[in-house]
């Protein structure tokens, strides 16, 4: 597991004692919660901390990732130039994230940084993290004017970059809630302010990130918030993972909402469900009932799913569905996990003593699309479906030892019993892999 957890934190400069000069005591609950976050991150000992901030380089149509090897910053804007921070950037992680963004067609990268200095949305979290932990590198990412859904998809790429890097990573989403909670606050009062904060903190408390994607832009503007897109990037990074949410604090005595929340990853939810399904069947010889309290993506969406089993590094079973055959992804996983363990004709049924060492991966398939040329294929990114009449087979993407389009097609045709000389059709598809 490379992504260790995620955190939502505010960034009021007055929480720094040199700036607050005693005023920070009015948000003591936020300070106490922040200290808990600092200790938690120290216990996790991440190699890299990804900080998402709304106050770095901001573009309407581009997600900016800070370039270079290091950066410095101070609180001169708030009258305290001696309060300084220096960070080392994880340039390897940044390069991976830029590449993944390009491949996914998401406008994100390191171009156009006018001011490399650290912003207060980054430095306030660092103030508390550095009280407990120092041995880390940073990836600093800004939000943009792009859609909420684009930010969510970008968050998924952060998780993918973390998995590829092999490093231990945590994500800190920096952002305040509504700035319109009180008449004497910085932007006055708007009835949307308390409503926004209530909705967002309930989502934090329950881990129901889907709620964050449902807000209308006009509602967010009326609430004068600055953190929603940071939180949605974090939500995307945590998608498909079982998390233990905890809202540590919320308060707004100055007319601005400050929330602190932690999301501990307790294992990938998709993989955990596959394991539960097969183990239940082997032990009880009956199908696992769909568990309660699954994430909305698992119970509200339908998709084809492949479940793969490995034992001692060797394939032990793989069964899946190209298109959905059940009511939801959760049911698809339960069905196919049992089939992979008990009904793959290449292997005998899984036995009880094998369960403790079994490794699982779950591939959720996007809708296949036909291709006209092999130039449209990429065995690392796309799986393939080949068909000729009633003969058809599927090969998943990013398989070990399958590095070329030619090899991918050769194996797929062999599985289907289709001669390379026959006329056949090719479709490609992408997957979200959970392991």
Helix (H) or strand (E) holding 363: strand 359-365
Q: Measuring CA to CA, which residue among 139, 175, 145, 174 is closest to residue 157?
A: 139
DSSP string, 12-33: -GGGSHHHHTTGGGGGHHHHHH
The runs of H, that is alpha helices, within 166-291 are 192-206, 217-223, 228-238, 269-284
Calpha distance 359→87 (Å, rounded): 37
SS3 83: strand
Domains of the chain as residue ranges with CATH: 3-176+226-239 (3.40.830.10), 269-434 (3.30.700.20)
Angle at 257 between CA 256 and CA 260, to 5 degrees: 140
Calpha distance 128→134 (Å, rounded): 11
State residue 390's pLDDT score: 95
Contacts of 201 by beta carbon, 8 Å cutoff, 6+ apart = 177, 247, 250, 259, 261
Helix (H) or strand (E) holding 411: helix 405-416
Count of residues for the chain? 435
The overall pTM is greater than 0.95:
no
Grouped pLDDT means (10 residues each) for the chain, 435 residues: 88 97 96 97 92 97 98 97 97 96 97 95 98 96 97 95 86 98 93 97 93 93 96 93 91 97 87 92 94 86 96 94 96 98 97 90 94 94 95 93 95 95 95 88
Q: Measuring CA to CA, which residue among 110, 234, 68, 266 is closest to residue 162?
A: 234
On the 0-12 / 13-18 / 19+ scale of CB atoms within 10 A, 26 is middle
State residue 41's pLDDT score: 94
State residue 185's pLDDT score: 86
Calpha distance 339→277 (Å, rounded): 10
Calpha distance 338→307 (Å, rounded): 9
Calpha distance 173→140 (Å, rounded): 10
């Amino acid at each position: 597991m490379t992504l260790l957890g995620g955190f939502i934190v505010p960034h009021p400069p007055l929480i720094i004692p040199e700036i607050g000069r005693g005023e920070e005591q009015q948000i003591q609950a936020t300070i106490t919660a922040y200290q808990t976050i600092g200790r938690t991150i120290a216990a996790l000992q991440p190699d890299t901390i990804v900080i998402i901030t709304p106050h770095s380089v901001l573009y309407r149509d581009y997600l900016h990732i800070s370039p270079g090897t290091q950066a410095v910053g101070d609180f001169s804007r708030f009258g305290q130039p001696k309060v300084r921070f220096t960070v080392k950037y994880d340039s390897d992680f940044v390069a991976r994230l830029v590449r993944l963004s390009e491949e996914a067609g998401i406008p994100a990268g390191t171009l156009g940084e006018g001011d490399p200095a650290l912003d207060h949305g980054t430095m306030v979290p660092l103030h508390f993290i550095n009280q407990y932990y120092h041995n880390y590198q940073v990836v600093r990412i800004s939000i943009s004017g792009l859609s909420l859904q684009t930010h969510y998809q970008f968050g998924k790429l952060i998780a993918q970059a973390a998995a590829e890097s092999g490093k231990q990573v945590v994500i800190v989403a920096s952002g305040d809630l509504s700035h319109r909670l009180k008449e004497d606050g910085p932007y006055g009062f708007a009835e949307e302010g308390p409503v926004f904060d209530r909705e967002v903190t309930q989502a934090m408390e329950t881990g129901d990130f889907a709620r964050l994607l449902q807000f209308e832009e006009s509602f967010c503007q009326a609430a004068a918030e600055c953190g929603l897109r940071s939180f949605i990037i974090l939500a995307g990074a945590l998608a498909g993972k079982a998390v233990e949410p905890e809202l540590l604090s919320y308060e707004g005595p100055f007319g601005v909402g400050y929330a602190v929340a932690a999301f501990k990853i307790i294992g990938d939810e998709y993989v955990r469900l596959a394991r539960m399904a097969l183990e239940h069947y082997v032990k009880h010889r009956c199908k696992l009932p769909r568990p309660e309290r699954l994430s909305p993506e698992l119970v509200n969406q339908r998709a084809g799913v492949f479940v793969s089993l490995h034992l001692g590094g060797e394939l032990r079973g793989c069964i899946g569905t190209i298109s959905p055959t059940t009511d939801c992804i959760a049911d698809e996983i339960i069905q196919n996990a049992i089939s992979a363990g008990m009904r793959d004709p290449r292997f005998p049924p899984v036995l009880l003593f094998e369960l403790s060492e079994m490794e699982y991966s779950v591939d959720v398939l996007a809708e296949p699309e036909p291709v006209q040329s092999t130039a449209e294929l990429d065995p690392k990114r796309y799986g393939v479906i080949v068909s000729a009449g009633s003969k058809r087979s599927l090969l998943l993407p990013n398989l070990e030892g399958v590095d070329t389009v030619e090899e991918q097609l050769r194996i797929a045709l062999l599985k289907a019993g289709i001669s390379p000389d026959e006329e056949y059709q090719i479709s490609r598809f992408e997957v979200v892999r959970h392991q």
